[in-house]
Structure 1
Amino acid sequence: MAETRNAALAAWMAEHEMGADALVDAVNDAIRGFAGRPGNTSERTVFRWLSGENQWPQALQRRALEEVTGRTAVALGFVPRGKRTTAAPLPEDPQVQRRRFCGAATAAVAAPMISSRPPRVGTSDVIRLRDSVDTLARLDAERGGHGALARAALAGAAEALDLQKRSATQRVRHRLFALAADFAASAAWSMIDAGQLAEAGRHLDRALTLAGMSQEPETTMQIWNLRSMLARQQRDYAVAVAAAQAAQATAAARRSPLHASLAHARTAVGQAHGGDARAAVRSLRLAEDALGRADLTGPRPTWISFYGPAELHSLTAIIRDVVGEPEEAEAAAYKALKALPASYRRNRAHTTARLALAQLHQGDVEQACRTSGDVFAIMAGDPLPGRMRSLLGDFHRDLITLAPSSHVVDEWTDRYRTEWSPRDHGPR
């Protein structure tokens, strides 16, 4: 009988950025935890699983794999000896998933952090914490930055650092420092999105220190990207450009066109706001060229999962509007909305607000007011993040400037003031 490659296990390893050597460590650590002795899994064992040569691991290895991945052996693509595989269960209704996820997000983040662990820290601990980072990223995309998300991220950073006090290999220690930096960066981003900029800066300072300890260029790139975003929110455009250029210089950006594209796009945004339209357009072209060379189908780190054609169109809408090209900005915003995944609810609302600004800057006041109203419909049920409220504040000021005596201005203000007012932003 011909061997069949185990695509499910390969996909899980790619999703978690785990090579065969790391999976070996994780499985053997898990066996040590419940059997009291280290496992004897080798890289050759993993290659046999992946090739399909071994379709049903030994009992201890199966249990360890299930503990490490959180999936059954069958779900990982293995086939019980002498048995037929059963059909996969039907997927759950997406609306049910969303309600369950949003209602229990904090518990979902905390659960991996309080589970029992063996005295020795291993790759399985890293995976559990990485899953927590992924949970935070999904919640951020759905709702936007807020205090509870930041607190959960800081708890994750504390957990990763606490694990450093226990026995671990040097490779695991580096990954724990990288995770702590990732959690701290997640907290910083949540505070940027929530409009709490001073607190975001403190978290980024800590994240940068932790990234240096991890010796992980991916995390360093992530932090410089956020530093550029924070500086732009603080209207320090020279620092925004410098931070984005530091992101360009990281090893992650040098080796990955996707990362380079984001760094160039972030540079363009800072240059546009700083008044250098020519440089902004040049950097935007570099971002477009780099994205054209990027592999958009392969696995990527969670923090940059948001970036692709939709996000570049959204950033293009910002750049073109700021440099005085609202027609091009409107077109880019429509492209972004068409390409955005449905799960990126906050990004969709933010891009819609940008579309409204582009329409307003063309003098189409009534259409701009209708478009801006969609922001509240998209975010219905959740408070607007501070960054989005600030953007709608810009819209309101420009609306008053461009149509000071229009009844449309009064109607917009009466209808939406309580929804975008800083007083209505929920607990922090």
Structure 2
Amino acid sequence: MRAEQLEREITHVLSRSVYASRVGRDLQAVLSELHSNQAWYGYDSGPIGKARTAAMEALTTAQLIGDGLLQLSALETLVLIDIKADRLWEAASAVESAYGVASRSGAGPTVRLVIALREANVATHAGDTVAARRALSRALSYQSRTDTDADVPHWARFAGPIEIDYATADMYIAAGEPRRAVPFLRVAVDGLGGGDARNTAWYRSKLACTLLDAGDVEEACAEMASVLDVYEEIDSDRLTHRMHAFRKTAVAMDTAVTCDVSARIREVARGGCA
């Protein structure tokens, strides 16, 4: 059943029936999770306005049933959406709200690690390296205690050392230090081990762009070539944008290897943004 159809069915049932509080709450929880999923996919492939609307729907529904973990799921996605939409003040406010909800709901270290990563995302995009370092330090502290988590919600299970390495690399890239970012991205890519095609392609594309900025042209092109090998299996506007950004830089270098990979990007992503 498509997400939109499922949403309509749940909304229809809730609007026309009276349930015991437990059943109604469970249905609202499913609806909140559905909106959070829609928000993430909207963040990944747009449109960003619909993604933000879905995140707010998820948050509102979770607040109405008093489910702290679902509120946090919505908030952490909202942070990413706000950053992409250049709404940094709202993103920072969402992080602050998330810390408050985490304290009130007794969230474990893994969930708090997710919040710290989002805090680092906001600080990095704001150009505040000091705040980004502070958030990453907090993330490392939470990571060291994740083995005490009894039950980690499914939406937070991605968080771990790989994400911290990626966020650290992001900080160095934003600070104009691509060479310092490269080792962290290498570790992150190696840590994924190719198990998740989407994440592996996303991380490799970041490594490729960073290597290119650092002057390691041949290795950068080799990394991007590995992304192109799996591109047709992945539907992600974010990845397409990054590939074309790589192509724009590579074309200007005008070497045999950069021209080859640029032509291949143009061919495989013909339907993407120029």
TM-score by length of 2: 0.88
Alpha-carbon deviation of 1:370? 1.1
Which residue is 1:410 aligned to? 259
Which residue is 1:205 aligned to? 56
**1:317–1:354: 8 Å Cα contact kept in structure 2?**
no
- C-alpha distance in 1, partners of 2:212/2:236? 22
- TM alignment of 1:190-201, pairs within 5 A: 190-201=41-52
- C-alpha distance in 1, partners of 2:263/2:58? 42
Mind listing any 5+ residue stretches in structure 1 that lack a counterpart?
Answer: 1-109, 111-151
- C-alpha distance in 2, partners of 1:185/1:255? 18
CA deviations on 1:175-233 (whole Å, 9 max, x unpaired) are 21121011011011111111321221221222222122221111111111111111122
The equivalent position to 2:139 in structure 1, one of 263, 287, 290, is 287
- TM alignment of 1:34-183, pairs within 5 A: 110=1, 152-164=2-14, 165-183=16-34
SS in 2 for 1:306: coil
Which residue is 1:419 aligned to? 268
Aligned residues: 271
2:258 alignment partner AA: V
The answer to whether residue 119 in structure 2 is matched with residue 260 in structure 1 is no
SS in 2 for 1:369: helix
- C-alpha distance in 2, partners of 1:358/1:259? 29
1:409 alignment partner AA: T
Percent identity of the aligned residues? 24
SS in 1 for 2:144: helix
Q: Which shows bigger deviation, 208-217 or 297-306?
A: 297-306
2:268 alignment partner AA: E
Please state which structure has a larger fraction of its residues in helix.
2
- C-alpha distance in 2, partners of 1:409/1:236? 35
Two-structure CA RMSD over aligned residues (Å):
2.4
- Inter-CA distance 348–216: structure 2 relative to 1 (3 Å threshold): same
CA deviations on 1:54-108 (whole Å, 9 max, x unpaired) are xxxxxxxxxxxxxxxxxxxxxxxxxxxxxxxxxxxxxxxxxxxxxxxxxxxxxxx
Alpha-carbon deviation of 1:269? 1.4
TM-score by length of 1: 0.58
Structure number with bigger Rg: 1
The equivalent position to 2:152 in structure 1, one of 292, 295, 300, is 300
The answer to whether residue 77 in structure 2 is matched with residue 226 in structure 1 is yes
The answer to whether residue 216 in structure 2 is matched with residue 364 in structure 1 is yes
- C-alpha distance in 1, partners of 2:114/2:26? 24
Mind listing any 5+ residue stretches in structure 2 that lack a counterpart?
Answer: none
**2:111–2:152: 8 Å Cα contact kept in structure 1?**
no
1:420 alignment partner AA: A
